[in-house]
Amino acid sequence: MLRVPPALAVRLLDALAELGEPRKLTASRLVLREAALVAIDELGETVSRHCTRMLRTGGPATELSAAVAELSELVDVLRGIDQGGRS
């Protein structure tokens, strides 16, 4: 069984919807893996936007740090999927 923190489960559910899959986390490993990759891709874009904003405005790194931490957690979820559900 794959364990996913609640905040990341929401991202995965949103990614499943983008893939045209039912919004439930009982999908096949292949579908969950694809959903994790979609969520990682979208969060990567968020990280990029935060970096750009920091470059232009010199603002604080708070939002960037939070997005990078969440991205790291999603990569851990992907690793768990790739390892057969062990996380």
Residue 87: pLDDT band (50, 70, 90) is very low
Q: Is the pTM of this model over 0.85?
A: no
The per-residue pLDDT for 18 is: 86
**% of residues, the chain, pLDDT over 90:** 47
The per-residue pLDDT for 19 is: 87
Residue 87 located in a structural domain = no
Tens digits of per-residue pLDDT, 47-61?
A: 999 999 999 998 889
Residue 54 located in a structural domain = yes
Residue ranges making up the domain that contains 17: 6-82
Residue 1 located in a structural domain = no
Residue 65: pLDDT band (50, 70, 90) is very high
* The dihedral sign for the CA sequence 78, 83, 84, 87: negative
Inter-residue contact 41 to 71 (CB < 8 Å): no
Residue 16 has pLDDT above 80, yes or no: yes
Residue 85: pLDDT band (50, 70, 90) is low
What HEC string does the chain produce? Answer: CCCCCHHHHHHHHHHHHHCCCCCCCCCCHHHHHHHHHHHHHHHHHHHHHHHHHHHHHCCCCHHHHHHHHHHHHHHHHHHHHHCCCCC
Query: What is the number of structural domains in the chain?
Result: 1
